[in-house]
Structure 1
Amino acid sequence: MISSPPKLRDELEVIRGMDDIPLIFDPVTGNYHRITRAGEVVLTYLDGTRTREDLVALLSRADEARAEALSRQIDTFLAALDKSGLLEGSAPPDKPQDTGRVRTSMLMPRIVLTRSLPRLLEPVAVVLRAVPAKLLVLITSLLALVGYSFGFHTLFTAMPPAKDIAGPAFLIATGVMLLCVFLHETAHALVAQILGTPVRGLGVALLFYFMPVAYVDRTDAYRFRGRAGRVVLAMAGILSDGVFCGLSGVVALNSDGLLRDTAALLLGMQLLMLIVNLNPLMPSDGYTAIEAATGLTNARGRAFSLLRHAVRRQELPAHLAHLSTAARRGHMTYGVFSVVYVCLLAYAMFHAVPVTVDLSLSAVGR
């Protein structure tokens, strides 16, 4: 029930997130609630001294026509705040999300392995904060670029065909790759720590209840407003993978036997991981970086909607018709790229299935 006069809970924090978007942070649940800039103005008056009628009169400035519209909007806004448990006297908010080790969702249950990363990473973050940010990003990017170039050149020019690699190398490479995945997520966590928005935890999610995926909870990244920092945060894992890819290439070129075979397989897995992390159709690191750099949300949905209407020669809906010609072309280019990406990935996976089966059987001696 909405209290009268309505009052925002004292412990709530109103902040500005990416691209200056107003947010309400609830420390009890750990949730962020996005609001409009008009809603942010209304929040300044929810101090428990003004009734709903006072708010309408104050904001409408004695304009009866405007008062009628504002009345409906304020009712809707207050109802949303009440439903979210953000007003004094409204239903208590849900229990904190970060209690317990296991969280469930419709398609991706999550197991939290540790919440100690901020404490462990802070000594490293202190040292890195002393380095100019642009220099740090430049060095890391160059190392990643050199690493990817060297590693994949080694994979395609100096390594034996995957079908000729047998024995336990596949199992060892898989174990090392799992470690690389956690280091990938730790890189995200380290950048978040440097930016002053520590991650909430490191864990494993089961995509569709059977596919293990490592993750870090970057919910508080909403607090960081700069686009450049958010792009680096999104790309941190990919950059760290580039460094490890280069190291794998060095090992592969300077070894033989089991160690060489393991490094060769690891390079192949790292190539696959890069392809997955650049997937334009999922909330991958690459897609997140694009959103952070452009300030766009749901670019994927707009792109495919534009393509669909273009193919069917249908009139564009209002939310797409107002896009500039350049923005429209950009979205459609993104949509075409996504379609081509899926076709190439499906082709590659189809041809990789027999080799993967052979490697798995050889790893268990069959």
Structure 2
Amino acid sequence: MDRSYFSSSWYRVAQLKPRLRSQVSIHRTIFRGQVWYVMQDRTSGRFHRFTPEAYFIISLMTGRRTMQEVWDSACERLDEKVITQDAVIRLLGQLHASDVLFGDIPPDIEEIADRASKQHNRKLLSKFANPLAIRVGLFDPDEFLNATYPLVRPFLSWFGGVAFLVLVAYSIFLAAMNWQALTGDVTDRVLSAENIVLILIAYPFIKALHELGHAYAVKRWGGEVHEIGVMLLVFMPVPYVDASESLAFRDKWQRALVGAAGIIVEGLLACLALIVWLNAEPGLVRAFAFNVMLIGGISTLLFNGNPLLRFDGYYVLSDVLEIPNLGQRATKYLGYVVQRYLFGIESAETPATAQGEEFWLFSYGVAAFFYRIGVMVAIVTLVSQRFFVVG
């Protein structure tokens, strides 16, 4: 074996006998045809992804073997695919920093308490880092979801999916037949003071059902949802649920459907609202139905369902393409392209880790940048026509 596989710091960890804590579970998943292992810490709600080689090292950490014995077994089993001792040391550091590792050396209680306090403060700070999207957790909804799940279970099936597609097709037909009535003088109708009040009333209601869609989709495939709260989105209270449990699902389509569940719920509401709007007399009910269509239909297509913005559509695309952290890695890939091909820096490293990722990372990075600029300009232009100072 090449000497580069060894580390001068190995003696510091060689005699340790670590093992994973009981709250940790590991799930096997497939990303772009490659096997990965996702570690879930149910205490902190955090997830970590590892290669099969790293997982093999972790699987040997039973508390009975020393790290030297683990390393020797890995060398024998993995041969040339074995990760370096420096990589093993970094892996131990990552697991230790995440508080999922238990060793044979008595733990430093002060260190663990200090690290837990820092993690808590970082998590709390992250909720308020963006003043336009502040999250405040309220309660654990899992018992409520378990009690009410039988009521929505029929809709989370092939029958429910086919019925939804039929309703969407019928609604598209109705919208096409009444297009002039739907779009006539739409800007003045939407931006009128009375209509803005209706939007403020309809928006939290629609988003509450949207988030319940995510939660029930997680329950559909055996997951749990333990946090529901309110997010101040541009100072407007909007409910949210923590559906991160779906990250542990093996099937990418299950993960994608959890992400798409909110979009599907809003699409369903928009379709039903269109039928109400066409059959209701002019008045409050018809106006409210129009705003449900506006929020559940148009805004969903342009924003929440659009993968070029970091909302639900983005996570659905990321799951379908099997490229975690798509937006962040796309930005890094554009930086790599600039360094490698514009400045000729041959040492630049690509963030692409699988075949075919380069195309998607480059395409997404460019498309997302120009789309966001276009949306920003369009919104400013539209608002400035009605409220010049605000625009």
What interval of TM-score do these two structures reach, taking the shorter chain for normalisation?
A: 0.7 to 0.9
Q: Structure 1 residue 196: deviation in Å?
A: 1.1
Who is 1:58 aligned against? 73
Asked if 1 retains the 8 angstrom alpha-carbon contact of 2:252 and 2:320, the reply is: yes
Who is 2:372 aligned against? 342
Matched, 1:252 2:277: yes
Who is 1:363 aligned against? none
Matched, 1:81 2:98: no
Matched, 1:6 2:33: no
Who is 1:237 aligned against? 262
Q: Structure 1 residue 184: deviation in Å?
A: 0.9
> Which of 184, 193, 196 is 2:219 aligned to?
193
Q: Which amino acid aligns with 1:319?
A: T
Question: Relative to 1, partners in 2 of residues 1:130 and 1:350: Cα closer, same or farther, differing over 3 Å?
Answer: closer
Matched, 1:94 2:110: no
Matched, 1:300 2:327: yes
Who is 2:208 aligned against? 182
Asked if 2 retains the 8 angstrom alpha-carbon contact of 1:148 and 1:245, the reply is: no
Matched, 1:71 2:85: yes
Unaligned ranges ≥5, structure 2:
1-11
Asked if 2 retains the 8 angstrom alpha-carbon contact of 1:16 and 1:225, the reply is: yes
Q: What are the equivalent positions in structure 2 for 1:70-219 lying under 5 Å apart?
A: 70-88=84-102, 89-90=106-107, 91-92=111-112, 94=116, 104-107=127-130, 108-116=133-141, 118-126=142-150, 129=153, 133-144=157-168, 146-147=170-171, 150=174, 154=178, 156-158=180-182, 161=185, 162-163=187-188, 166=192, 168-207=194-233, 210=235, 212-219=237-244
Cα RMSD between the aligned structures?
Answer: 4.1
Moved more, 281-290 or 146-155: 146-155
Asked if 1 retains the 8 angstrom alpha-carbon contact of 2:27 and 2:39, the reply is: yes
Who is 1:290 aligned against? 317
Separation of aligned partners in 2, 1:250 and 1:39? 54
Q: Which amino acid aligns with 2:99?
A: G
Separation of aligned partners in 2, 1:113 and 1:333? 39
Question: Relative to 1, partners in 2 of residues 1:264 and 1:156: Cα closer, same or farther, differing over 3 Å?
Answer: farther
TM-score under structure 1 length normalisation? 0.78
Q: Which amino acid aligns with 1:267?
A: M
Asked if 1 retains the 8 angstrom alpha-carbon contact of 2:225 and 2:241, the reply is: yes
Separation of aligned partners in 1, 2:249 and 2:80? 39
Identity percentage of aligned residues: 21
Separation of aligned partners in 1, 2:352 and 2:16? 42
Asked if 2 retains the 8 angstrom alpha-carbon contact of 1:151 and 1:267, the reply is: no
Asked if 2 retains the 8 angstrom alpha-carbon contact of 1:302 and 1:320, the reply is: yes
TM-score under structure 2 length normalisation? 0.73
Question: Relative to 1, partners in 2 of residues 1:83 and 1:303: Cα closer, same or farther, differing over 3 Å?
Answer: closer
Asked if 1 retains the 8 angstrom alpha-carbon contact of 2:300 and 2:306, the reply is: no
Separation of aligned partners in 2, 1:141 and 1:26? 37
Asked if 2 retains the 8 angstrom alpha-carbon contact of 1:8 and 1:46, the reply is: yes
Moved more, 217-226 or 47-56: 47-56
| Post-superposition CA distance 1:183-241 (Å, at most 9, x none) | 11111111111111122222222357x45443210121122111121221111111111
Who is 1:38 aligned against? 53
Q: Which amino acid aligns with 2:45?
A: G
Separation of aligned partners in 2, 1:128 and 1:62? 48
Count of residues paired in the alignment:
353
Q: Structure 1 residue 355: deviation in Å?
A: 6.4
